[in-house]
Amino acid sequence: MIESHDPRLRFPVGPDALSFLGWRGALSDEGWVGLSGLLRATDYFERVFIDTGVDLRSA
Question: What is d(CA 20, CA 31) in angstroms, rounded to the nearest whole number?
Answer: 14
**pLDDT > 70 in the chain, percent:** 95
- Residue 59 CA to residue 52 CA, distance in Å, equals 15
Residue 53: pLDDT above 80? yes
Q: SS3 breakdown of the chain: % helix, strand, coil, rounded to 5?
A: 60, 0, 40
Rounded to two decimals, the pTM is 0.70
Q: How far apart are CA 42 and CA 50, in angstroms?
A: 12
Question: Is the predicted pLDDT of residue 1 greater than 60, yes or no?
Answer: no
